[in-house]
Amino acid sequence: TGTPLPRIEDAVRIGEQFRAAIMGRARHVLGGRDNIPPGLSGHGLDPDNRHAHAFYLPEDADGDGRIDHILVHVPGGLSLNAQKVLNRLTLFRGRRGMEWRVILEELGQAEGFCNDSGYAGESRVWQSVTPYLRPWHLKKKPSIQEQNEAFVRKECLLRKLPEPECIEWLPQIGVHGKTRRPIHFHRFRNKPGLRQPDTQGCFLRLHFAEPVKGPLALGFGCHFGLGMFARICGDKQ
């Protein structure tokens, strides 16, 4: 449509807007809100399986700093109706009247995209693409860094992933030749009344003893583009 592609720093905005477009298309295609597949909406799932629904993960696949793909990762699997909805979405809108045309490129298992996406495949080392925001509130002790590391380990265990052997804190990451700190990224959900345990965020590099399968997104807002990790180059398994 001529609209510039959005920046990766706005990933959570794009993730939310894309999900909203999916919900609207699902209502139209499937005949109402009640027919939206839980795998796309996240509603109506077992409380013990809160992360089986879609992660809407914006990606800068060509490294120019702009979002050119959105990986829709559904750990619980895509129903036929969900596939129909994704195939029928051709346009979504952002802020200030911006809009982007989209096309479903491919459906498949996550490991099948490892040559096309840094979010897919297996690796022992995963590094932040967008800030990790802790999903739980801090206590007075121990230090913020110690608590954040404990939160990451807890999340991995809850997701049935191995605990990281080592968690590195990165003061900054590079985006298309520019140095970026968490403050350069939009870090807030567009949901009135929602209280975030963390509004600052941090960048991490996670080291595992064995290869871990992606996509990997952790922390607050991880279903919308926050807390995304990519494989480190040279560690594709």
Question: Do 72 and 126 share a domain, yes or no?
Answer: no
Question: Number of folded domains in the chain?
Answer: 2
CA 57, 63, 65 angle in degrees (round to 5)?
A: 75
Q: What is the pLDDT of residues 147-185, one digit of tens each?
A: 999 999 999 999 999 999 999 999 999 999 999 999 999
Higher pLDDT, 114 or 126: 126
Reported as a pLDDT band with limits 50, 70 and 90, residue 2 is low
Q: In the prediction, which pLDDT does 119 show?
A: 97
Pick from 113, 145, 178: which residue ends a domain? 113
Query: Could you tell me if residue 183 is inside a domain?
Result: yes
Residue range of the domain that includes 223: 122-231
* CA dist., res. 183 & res. 84, Å (int): 38
- Whether 35 is covered by a domain: the verdict is yes
CA dihedral 36, 52, 50, 120 (to 10 degrees): -120
Beta bridge partners of 59: 69
103 and 141 part of one domain:
no
What is the pLDDT, as a whole number, of residue 96?
78
Q: Which of 91, 113, 135 is the last residue of a domain?
A: 113
- In the predicted model, what is the mean pLDDT of residues 13-24? 97
37 in a structural domain = yes
- Please report whether residue 15 resides in a domain: yes
Give me the amino acid identity at 32. Answer: G
Any idea which of 77-86, 109-118, 220-229 has the lowest mean pLDDT?
109-118
Name the amino acid, one letter, at 43: H
Q: Give the total residue count for the chain.
A: 237
> Can you give the pLDDT at residue 234?
55
pTM: 0.93
Boundary (domain end) residue, out of 113, 137, 155: 113
Residues 126 and 38 in one domain: no
Residues 140 and 221 in one domain: yes
Looking at the fold, whether 147 and 222 belong to one and the same domain comes out as yes
Percent over 70 (pLDDT), the chain: 96
